[in-house]
């Protein structure tokens, strides 16, 4: 039996100018997970990030958001894993995914980084690709019919329809987290992936719409300074 998740690391960039951008979807989900587990974020410089300590069925669970920029996320991951004496298989990384439409979410263990700088740095810091990844679909400018480069796309807020679907994917991810904390990965995968059919159709519809980017900050997010 695979060991259950004990460290959850949401990826994003620190600072209010990045808070509502697509690249911070991992932070958005981490905020919800910390709330669900009764944790509160505080900045811990030794761990290069904001750390919340929660509990699930009597077990301590660590939720963290790196205070470094995305491409240095491995500093937090490595420091936390070493301090709590965890294996890569007990680490879950929450991150935005270009290859999934808004609203889609997928879970997998191991694999490459597909050019995602946060995953690249974590894989290097842990000396292993065997951590778990919860991939939060944000879409790709090509599939969403947007004439812009990927770098600019991920650093902008999602459009209104996209945001609705991303938040639905985050809600479904929250519901799957307890399975991961019990080590029931098959059930989590089944639950998450079963909901992607409807999200795919809705995401394609959202991509065909031409509405501008929302001027409002994502209502599901909190300040990344942890208060």
- Structure-token pair, residue 116: 């995602």
Burial state string for 120-147 with b = 16 or more CB within 10 A and e = fewer than 16:
bbbbebbeebebbbbbbbbbbbeebebe
Q: Could you confirm whether 23 is annotated as catalytic?
A: yes
**207 close to 144: Cβ distance less than 8 angstroms:** yes
Q: 23, 95, 116, 179: which is the annotated catalytic residue?
A: 23
Helices 185-194 and 160-181: angle between axes, nearest 10 degrees: 160
Residues recognised as catalytic? 23
């Amino acid at each position: 039996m695979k060991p259950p998740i004990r460290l959850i690391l949401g990826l994003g960039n620190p600072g209010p100018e990045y808070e509502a951008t697509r690249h911070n979807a991992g932070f958005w989900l981490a905020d919800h997970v910390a709330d669900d587990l009764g944790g509160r974020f505080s900045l811990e410089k030794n761990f290069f990030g904001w750390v919340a300590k929660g509990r699930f069925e009597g077990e301590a669970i660590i939720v963290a958001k790196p205070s470094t920029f995305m491409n240095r996320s491995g500093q937090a991951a490595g420091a936390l894993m070493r301090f709590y004496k965890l294996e890569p298989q007990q680490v879950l990384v929450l991150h935005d995914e270009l290859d999934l439409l808004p609203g889609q979410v997928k879970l997998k263990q191991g694999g490459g980084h597909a050019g995602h700088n946060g995953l690249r740095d974590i894989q290097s810091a842990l000396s292993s690709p065997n951590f778990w990844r919860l991939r939060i679909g944000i879409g790709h400018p090509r599939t969403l019919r947007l004439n812009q480069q990927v770098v600019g796309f991920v650093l902008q807020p999602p459009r209104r329809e996209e945001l609705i679907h991303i938040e639905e994917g985050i809600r479904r991810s929250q519901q799957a987290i307890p399975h991961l904390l019990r080590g029931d990965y098959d059930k989590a995968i089944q639950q998450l992936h079963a909901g992607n059919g409807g999200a795919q159709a809705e995401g394609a519809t959202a991509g065909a719409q031409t509405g501008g980017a929302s001027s409002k900050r994502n209502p599901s997010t909190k300040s990344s300074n942890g208060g």
